[in-house]
Every structure is written in C-alpha cells, then in structure tokens.
C-alpha cells in the first residue's frame, strides 16, 4: 500500500506507471473534442445566462436518475463499474477512484465517513468553484452514490473558508436535498440507507487541501498532515475508515453509473479516460473553465478553447496548478492527460488542470518568486526541509529579483530543490514536492533567463536585506502576514 500512495494521494502507483507507459505506445485519437458537455451540461456558455440550478430543474433535466439506478446495485457493483471506467482522481493525484473505494473495509464495524475535498486553493485552480456554484446537486448526487458504494454514514463537504458564496449555495442545495428525501432520517430516497451531509468550512489554509490535513481540520485541530500509514481508508476522520475525493471526481460518478464505463472510456486517452474541466487563466483572450476530453493538446486548449494569446506570443504555461511545474515555450504539442504532461512534458503531472498561461513579456524569475512565496507562506511548519527550505528559497529569489543575484544563488536553489519533498523522502506531505517541482521546471526550462540575472562574478556586495516591504517582517519559523 505504501508504494501506491507514497505521496499522500498525489503519487502514482507502480501499476499506474506501467499501464501508462503501455498506453503511450498504444493508440491515441488524433483529434480530441468533446461531443457533448458532461459536467457542465446544465451551465450555459454565455456568462449572463448562468444561474443556480435548483432541485426542480435538476430533476427535470434528468438529475437523480443515476442515484435511483445505484440504489438497485450492490456496493461492489458500483465500485466495479467505477473502477472499470478508469476514473482517476481530479484533485491532483490521478489515483483510480474505484480502487481507492475498494480499500474501505467491507465489513462494517462502525461509522464510515466521506470527505469531499472542496478546499481548492492551488493557484491557478478554479474549476470546483465554478461547477459547485452553478450545479451543486450534481455533486450531491455523486456524494450519495459514493456513500452507497463505500457504506458511508456521514458526508462532510470540506470547503475553503474564502468560498463564502459557494458554501451558501451548498447549504441551500443540501437543504433542498433533505426536503426531497435524498438525505435524512428515512435514508436515501426512502431506502433506509441513511446518509447525512454537512458543509464544514475551513479557515484559510492551503494545507487543509492535503487529505490528512483536511481530516485534522475536520476534527478541530490545526491542519497538520498526518504521517502515513495508517491510511485514511483504514483510520481517517475520527479514526474511522474514510473516503476522500475531489469535487470533480465525485461529479463524474453519476454519469458513469447512468451511462456505463464503455461510454466513459470513449472519451479521453486509454490511460486517462473521461471529460475534464480545464481552468484557463492568465494571458489568454477568453479565460474561464472549459470542459473537454483529457488528452487535448496545450495548443488546442490555448488557441481554440481560450481564444488565443493576449498581449504577446506564448511563452510558458503552468499546467495544473503551480505545484506541477511549468511547460516550456516549445511544448505546445503536449497532450493534457495524466501521463503525457508527466512523461513528455517533464512536469509532475496534470494536477488540477488549472492552467496559467504566460506571454512573452512575463518575467519568469518573478513568476518563480511568486510561486515560492506561496509555498513558504503555506508551509505548515512540521518538516524542516519544507519549512526552512522554502523560506531560504524565497529569500534567495527575493535577492535575485532585487538585482543582487549571483551564480551561487542559482546553485543553492537547485541544491535545495533536490532535497525537499516526499520523493527524496524528507517530508510528510506533497507540498514540499510542489515547491521543488516548480523550482526545478522553471530553472531548467528557462535557465538562460535565470543565468542572466545571476552572473558568475558578484556585481556588488551582496546585502542580506530582504527586498520588498512585506518581507521585512520575518519570524524565525515562518512568515507573518498580519
């Protein structure tokens, strides 16, 4: 088990990697384009016409049919259907959803919990908010089906504190669902299989998106990720078996149950089937959330979906939230699925598919400084390499941005980047890997730009003063922004 989830969920099992390398040589469709929207089928393209889909409208357009079907299936059948569909987690890990559910003990000795990860805080990611704000019942239906499959009694939707509007939408939708017997004392649609569903608001900490950090926050503690094992499937929330899935992952589930694994597999690539929400932001003409098949090329995503570049030619693109690293100027042909970005693209993975597109006028050194500042700010402080390393890196980058960089700074950055994270085995969670992959890919793909501002001979005496005003207040252990 350790092998599979080495990364607190962000990792790739050996099996997945093997399958992926086979898939790469296999047949991949030349042209990818979704024939009909799936997750966004009730959300109009025109922003002015978008509105909240309420219970009545959701049911009138075919909602909660999959739940009725799932009620007639056994838990094992549901798990098998989802495993067969090849649905992979959309929260960054890309781990098979069906497989994850199958780890939950079949024999029930107490309550099981479902935690929905709506903590979306990865810079560049805004897909979950988009679908939750408009079509919350699709998520609730996914929750109900998943709970049937894993025999969960309570579902907590862990939503980040800053999503005030979304939290209210969800509370409203849950109230509607209770009124119509989806949740509540009579069981799902009167079946006697009881399920309660609650919103639990976080309070502004990126690290609570990490699944065990989320569990700690749910239990009322500080969001410190846990050492694994035990894995959440065995001892998660309140030390009970717990399923943790991303919002988008669960939204796929009703469609898979309704239309079958074969239909699901007709979209996407062999190793990454299905539709995906791509969040396009940055220097593009039409930023926003777009749904398409996994495996579209970056070129298609930028030029067809997002309406082309704005303000200059393409230079770089963060491919799935900043933790995944950056795609370079010559990588427009990369296919956006869980494997191509990783194996050919040289990034950590597709992540959340939140793309930050940058044009030729973007300063990559400043961009990396921004990313590293994020990690040094959000590190929870448990592991020394992450807590100290990210702060050193930020100080070094501040110096470089202030024009005081030297070659040894660059070497130091690259040395630090190699030593922190789960992959070198020095930290508890994957946040530190985000830091190192962002640094690694930025420096290796835009080395010249960094080398230019880090000359071999020091130009002037290096002062250790931190450049920007807010950086001046540094406590020994971390940063204080207030």
Q: Which residues bind ligand FMN (CB under 6 A)?
A: 8-10, 89-93, 95, 117, 119-122, 207, 209-211, 244-246, 249, 429-431
202 binds other proteins (CB under 8 A): yes
Cβ contact 108:151 at 8 Å: yes
> Considering CB distances under 5 to 8 angstroms, the limit depending on partner class, which of ligand FMN, ligand SF4, other proteins, none binds residue 458?
none
379 binds ligand SF4 (CB under 6 A): yes
221 binds other proteins (CB under 8 A): yes
Whichever of 39 and 302 has its CB closer to ligand FMN, that residue is: 39
Q: Show the site string, 152-181: x = touches other proteins by CB under 8 A, - = not.
A: --x-----xxxxxx-xx-xxx---------
Find the binder of other proteins among 12, 58, 95, 206 (CB under 8 A).
Answer: 206
Nearest Cα neighbor of 138 from 112, 173, 113 is 173
CB of 182 to ligand FMN, least distance (A): 21
381 binds ligand SF4 (CB under 6 A): yes
203 binds other proteins (CB under 8 A): yes
Tokens of 357: 């597109």
Cβ contact 136:177 at 8 Å: no
Alpha carbon of 256 to those of 77, 143, 278, 281, 431: distances in Å? 12, 13, 20, 29, 31
CB of 408 to ligand FMN, least distance (A): 30
429 binds ligand SF4 (CB under 6 A): yes
Find the binder of other proteins among 16, 70, 177, 205 (CB under 8 A).
Answer: 205
CA atoms within 13 A on the CB side of 276: 38
382 binds ligand SF4 (CB under 6 A): yes
Alpha helix positions (H), 266-312: 298-300
* DSSP character at residue 32: -
* Secondary structure of residue 318 in the 3-state scheme: strand
Q: Which of 15-23, 56-64, 191-199, 378-386 is the region at the interface with ligand SF4 (rule: CB under 6 A)?
A: 378-386
Cβ contact 96:88 at 8 Å: yes
Distance of CA 382 to the CA centre of its chain: 22
Tokens of 215: 């569990």
Alpha carbon of 398 to those of 180, 462, 465: distances in Å? 55, 12, 9
> Considering CB distances under 5 to 8 angstroms, the limit depending on partner class, which of ligand FMN, other proteins, ligand SF4, none binds residue 447?
none
399 binds other proteins (CB under 8 A): no
Whichever of 92 and 270 has its CB closer to ligand FMN, that residue is: 92
> Considering CB distances under 5 to 8 angstroms, the limit depending on partner class, which of ligand SF4, ligand FMN, other proteins, none binds residue 288?
other proteins
> CA–CA separation, 328 vs 205, rounded Å?
30
376 binds ligand SF4 (CB under 6 A): no
123 binds other proteins (CB under 8 A): yes
> CA–CA separation, 109 vs 67, rounded Å?
25
Tokens of 307: 């309406």
- As beta bridge partners, residue 200 has 158
The residue ranges that bind ligand SF4 (CB under 6 A) are 207, 225, 379-383, 386-387, 427-429, 431-432
């Amino acid at each position: 088990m350790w092998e599979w989830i080495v990364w607190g969920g962000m990792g790739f099992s050996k099996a997945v990697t093997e399958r992926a390398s086979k898939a790469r040589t296999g047949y991949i469709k030349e042209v990818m384009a979704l024939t009909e929207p799936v997750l966004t089928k009730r959300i109009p393209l025109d922003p002015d016409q978008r509105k909240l889909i309420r219970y009545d409208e959701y049911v009138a357009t075919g909602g909660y049919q999959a739940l009725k079907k799932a009620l007639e299936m056994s838990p094992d059948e549901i798990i098998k259907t989802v495993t067969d569909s090849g649905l992979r987690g959309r929260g960054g890990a890309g781990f098979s959803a069906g497989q994850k559910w199958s780890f939950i003990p079949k024999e029930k000795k107490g309550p099981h919990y479902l935690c929905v990860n709506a903590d979306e805080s990865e810079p560049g990611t805004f897909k979950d908010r988009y679908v939750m704000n408009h079509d919350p019942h699709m998520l609730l239906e996914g929750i109900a089906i998943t709970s049937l499959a894993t025999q969960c009694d309570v579902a907590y939707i862990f939503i980040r504190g800053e999503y005030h509007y979304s939290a209210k939408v969800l509370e409203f939708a849950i109230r509607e669902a209770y009124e119509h017997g989806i949740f509540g004392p009579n069981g799902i649609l009167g079946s006697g299989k009881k399920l309660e569903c609650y919103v639990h608001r976080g309070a502004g900490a990126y690290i609570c998106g990490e699944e065990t950090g989320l569990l700690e926050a749910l239990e009322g503690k500080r969001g410190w990720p846990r050492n694994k094992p035990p894995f959440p499937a065995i001892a998660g929330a309140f030390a009970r078996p717990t399923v943790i899935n991303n919002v988008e992952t669960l939204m796929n589930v009703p469609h898979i149950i309704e239309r079958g694994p074969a239909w699901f597999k007709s979209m996407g690539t062999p190793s990454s089937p299905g539709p995906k929400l791509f969040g396009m932001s940055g220097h593009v003409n039409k930023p926003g959330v777009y749904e398409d098949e996994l495996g579209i090329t970056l070129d298609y995503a930028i030029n067809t979906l997002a309406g082309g570049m704005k303000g200059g030619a393409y230079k770089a693109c963060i491919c799935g939230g900043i933790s995944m690293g950056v795609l370079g100027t010559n990588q427009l042909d990369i296919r956006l699925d869980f494997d191509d970005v990783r194996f050919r693209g040289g990034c950590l993975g597709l992540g959340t598919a939140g793309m930050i597109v940058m044009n030729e006028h973007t300063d990559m050194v400043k961009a990396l400084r921004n990313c590293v500042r994020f990690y040094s700010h959000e590190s929870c402080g448990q592991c020394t390499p992450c807590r100290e390393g990210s702060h050193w890196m930020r100080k070094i980058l501040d110096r470089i941005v202030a024009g005081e960089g030297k070659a040894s700074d660059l070497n130091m950055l690259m040395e630090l980047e190699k030593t922190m994270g789960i992959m070198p085995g020095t930290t508890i969670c994957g946040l530190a890997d985000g830091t190192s992959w962002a640094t690694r890919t930025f420096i290796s793909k835009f080395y010249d730009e960094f080398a230019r501002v880090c000359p071999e001979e020091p130009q002037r005496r290096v002062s250790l003063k931190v450049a920007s005003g807010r950086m001046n207040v540094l406590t020994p252990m971390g940063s204080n922004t207030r």
